[in-house]
Chain A
Amino acid sequence: MITYLEAIREAQKKALESDPRVYIYGQDIAAFGGAFKATKNLAATFPGRVIDSPISEDAMIGSAIGAALQGMRPVIEMQFADFSTVGFNQIVNQAATMFWRTGEPCPITIRLPSGGTPGSGPFHSQNLEALYAHYPGLIILTPATVEDAYSMLLEAIALNDPVIFCEHKYLYYHLKAEALPSAALPVGKARIARAGRDATVVTYSAMLHEALAAAEELAADGWEIEVIDLRSVKPLDTDTVLASVARTGRVLAVGEAWPWGGVTAEVLARIATDGFNLLDAPPMRLNSKDTPVPFHPNLWGTHRPTASTISNALRDLLRL
């Protein structure tokens, strides 16, 4: 069995093995192996290519951009997604504009350990995919499975554009697969994680598993819920979403991030503009509450969508 976190480590190992242009730079990632051990043993296996950085997110990203301009393929580990805001300027103004302004590609991969876990609180739990997706020039990946964590990270490193790789911390240890995948869907394609015909749930990252549990629960009552895993939020695979809505006529978009201007809002905006006539009921969405992410598990468990709030929302949607 291999965990989601191990898949991330294996992908980095494979990238370091197969491409001499790859190096990893981040806080505590060398001998220590990273705050989550995503780079455990890699520094010893690849001397000089897994490098500890000072606590300087702006300079970490800026230097990755410079190295990429000189032909390297840097992977930057943010200790937590939340701290990437300190490097925000370099990401959105330097990396994201480089190709458009100069025609020079900027192949950097920024790993963001994202999302909530019990007790992590306001500054170690954030989901920033919408923030980065807002800016032109970035690719935003949100793997929900062990297989995708592996194959999409490898693809991210191979791409010539800056990639924000949102890996979910809640999935790190307890999500397991039999083996690493040998084939994978390409970046940019959504996946139908569960087929159904009564309603569609569009989701991504850790919420996929809550949505699948909700679909299972509703199956006991005879409802067939289709669940779509977006995999990448930018580009957003609108075609797969619309094709599903065409089959089901009902849609619920679910995201762990905050609601305002987020991925669920974008999904529903596209369905409303391009697929209005496919709908049998108003589209719905479910997000975390519009407050900072709370520390206590009682509060946290209510702050974000869960299988039970998703199944409640689906029952409302099916009654409409």
Chain B
Amino acid sequence: MLHLAEAPSRAGKTSDFPETYRRAYRWMLLARVAEEKIASLFRGGRITGGVFLGKGQEAISVATGLALKQGDIFAPLIRDQAGRLAFGESLHDFTLTYLGARSGPMRGRDGNVHRGRPREGLLPMISHLGAMISVVNGMLIAHRFNGKAGTVGAASLGDGATSTGAFHESLNQAAVEKLPLVLVVTNNQYAYSTPNERQFACSDLVEKAIGYGVSGHSIDGTCLEDCMNGIGEAVRQARAGHGPQLVVASNLRLAGHGEHDDAHYVSTHLKNLPLGRDCLENAQQKLLQNGWAEAPTLELWARECAVQVDEAVAYALREPAPDPATEDWCAISHRHLADGNNAAI
């Protein structure tokens, strides 16, 4: 049996496009299956807090994760399960964090999509949209100071987050400093319930690139090949020293904003456009059409994903929850400088 989560995602990359495509598809599939599992646990009342799915965004996300290498930086957002896996995050980090286990990377102190391992280049998003981009900039500035050449930092963003001041400040900062930042904006047509026309007034978000003096790339977020080529090219450009790259991918969010949301506001017109197609189904068809995989192989992969996800969930369910009595209630690293007023409360 294949152990996808253990497959080398960064090392062993091949120039063999069908092979890379197959690998991308399998990460997408694993992300989809894993998220569906968490959604069903959520419906069963087993998940505390929110659940946010990347359904329909797996192609964009996986292409970002796959384009990055060891030593690069990735600041994923809420719909990046596929990219996280491709970048090297373990499925256990996903289940342990959603289930709030003490042994997870966030130790029950933060949950769901707010997870990461900064030492491994994977930033744990804060909720405030746009806030991770300048953190990536700073990591790239540190790489420059430390003579670590050739590394790239990628940050994910939604259409809604392009309206924040943080987006503007950080993209401008990256441009001024000529940093190897790849900003991948997924325009999934909505920010929660807000459609594009209430979010921005330019005709295409990629037009913003010119105003910042950075390169812009438009890609079809429903087409895995286009995502791999477009984001791959943006990452190559950044790595080669050509400064920040703004990628704008178009698609439709194929889930509610979170699992609490029925997304009744999503227009039927958009759903029926090519834009509304499922990138995973598209990729599956392409695999079959090109003879890059046979139907039984696809079925095998799906079964393997289900097994892996079940194992990761079962593992996380067995892990102990955090214990307030033994929790270290100290918010700073210098314990002797902790303000001594906790006792009075």
Q: Are B139 and A66 in contact (CB under 8 A)?
A: yes
Q: Is the CB of A54 within 8 A of B173?
A: yes
Contact size class for B?
Answer: 35 or more
Asked if residues B339 and A235 are in contact (CB atoms below 8 Å), the reply is yes
CA distance A58 to B172 in the complex (A): 12
Q: Which of A102-139 contact B (CB under 8 A)?
A: 102, 104-105, 136-139
**B138 in contact with A238 (CB, 8 Å):** no
Whether A139 touches B138, Cβ cut-off 8 Å, given contacts A101-B106, A102-B124, is no
Which applies to chain A's interface (DSSP): helix, strand, loop or mixed?
Answer: helix
In the bound complex, CA of A258 to CA of B28 (Å): 54
- Which residues of the partner chain B approach A234 to less than 8 Å between Cβ atoms? 339
B116 in complex: contacting residue of A102, A136, A187, CB < 8 Å: A102
CA distance A58 to B128 in the complex (A): 12
Interface residues of A in 56-72 (CB under 8 A from B): 56-72
Tell me the smallest distance from the CB of A308 to a CB of chain B, in Å. 33
CB distance from A16 to the nearest CB of B (A): 13
Q: Is B293 interfacial (CB-CB < 8 Å)? A: no
B residues near A306, Cβ cutoff 8 Å: none
Interface residues on A, range: 35 or more
**Which residue on chain A has the smallest CB distance to residue B139?**
A66
Contacts of B135 in A (CB 8 A): 62-63, 65-66, 69, 94
- Name the B residues within 8 Å of A57 (CB-CB): 169
Whether A236 pairs with B106 at a CB distance below 8 angstroms is no
Kindly name the residue among B109, B118, B143, B166 whose own CB sees the greatest number of chain A CB atoms within 10 A: B118
Cβ–Cβ < 8 Å partners of B145 in chain A: 23, 67, 72
Q: From A62, A67, A97, A101, give the contact of B133 (CB < 8 A).
A: A62
Given contacts A62-B134, A65-B134, 19 further A-B contacts (CB under 8 A): A53-B173, A54-B169, A59-B134, A59-B169, A60-B134, A63-B134, A64-B138, A66-B134, A66-B139, A67-B141, A70-B146, A72-B145, A94-B135, A101-B106, A102-B117, A159-B337, A161-B333, A161-B337, A236-B341
| Residues of A in contact with B (beta carbons under 8 Å apart) | 23, 53-54, 56-72, 74, 86, 89-90, 93-94, 96-97, 99-102, 104-105, 136-139, 159-161, 187-188, 234-236, 238, 270, 273-274
A-B contact pairs, 14 of them (CB 8 A): A59-B169, A62-B170, A63-B173, A66-B134, A66-B141, A69-B138, A93-B128, A94-B131, A100-B331, A159-B337, A161-B333, A234-B339, A236-B340, A273-B344
